[in-house]
Amino acid sequence: MQILVTGATGFVGRSVMDWLARCGYEARPYHGRITDSLALRAELEGIDTVIHLASAEGRGRKRLLQHVDIDGAERLIDRCRRAEVRRIIFVSRLGAVPNSLHPLLGAKDTIERMVKKSGLEYTILRSATAYGPGDRHLEMLASLALWSWPFVWLPGGGKLWLQPIWVEDLARCIVLTLDRPDMVGKTITIAGEERLPYKEILRQIMDILAIRRISLPVPLILMRPITRLLFSWWYWPPVSNFFVDRFFVPEAADFDSILRQFGFRPARLQDNLNYLGRPGMRWRIFRR
């Protein structure tokens, strides 16, 4: 099995490449723009399976979401058909629905529908928010807690429920899917085994960082105006509208979704948050 991984140098992609090597698969990262037909044609030669992770989510721009995620997926699928690629595995998000008010979730649904109509064998993994070293979620929350002294923001009072998944567990699920013919043509939902309110996740983060802050509830209606005012001019904003959208859509999946479908229990949040307390990490987070 020859495997090509788009987005291989990204947050999830790095873990996927490590797991592929660990499990003995022949895999290579995709080099080039995802909308470049010539690069796609060259890179897809001899490829049997594509793991599609590439996304412009971190930039927080609708234009890039359309160009990289949607147009890129369309170009990739077209070239996969021409190159006689057998299978595509696409990592989507919980909450992806048609006509979503949130651009990222709407884009993920659009790509899901393209994958299903592609004529290729496919598996779609709808994942909860992944966390780990280099993520753009929990590290952002830690950064905001450090920057906002003496307060810490609680959008919507911190009541939003999340079901985060350790990035290594997500990567392991992606790789295990490769040898699961029963998952071909399926959309699989996965998440961690804990459903935690945002304020509890933030409390655990502050405990790791050994900081104390005064909780400041912020109405959700103010989150987008504040984000645009403070961060819209950044080339790579630490807090984007896509990040804010997470506070409007609770994550919910069966607590045993990974155990039942992949045969192992995912890590608990408190068992892996120590990466935020590693030497030098506080300064790195602060700079973000």
Backbone dihedral angles phi then psi of residue 188, each to the nearest 5 degrees: -105, 130
Q: Is 43 exposed, middle or buried (0-12, 13-18, 19+ CB in 10 A)?
A: buried
Task: Tell me what pLDDT residue 280 has.
Answer: 63
**CA–CA separation, 283 vs 145, rounded Å?**
13
Domains of the chain listed by start with CATH number: 2-198+225-287 (3.40.50.720)
Q: Which residue(s) pair with 130 in the sheet?
A: 165
How high is the mean pLDDT in each 10-residue block of the chain (288 residues)? 94 97 96 94 96 87 90 97 97 91 92 97 96 87 84 88 95 97 97 94 92 88 74 62 79 93 95 80 57
To the question of pTM greater than 0.95 for the whole model, the response is: no
- The pLDDT tens digits of the residues spanning 152-205 come to 888 888 888 999 999 999 999 999 999 999 999 999 999 999 999 999 999 999
Task: Tell me what pLDDT residue 264 has.
Answer: 97
Alpha carbon 143 to its chain's center:
19
Count of residues making up the chain: 288
**CA–CA separation, 12 vs 171, rounded Å?**
7
Residue 111 amino acid letter: I
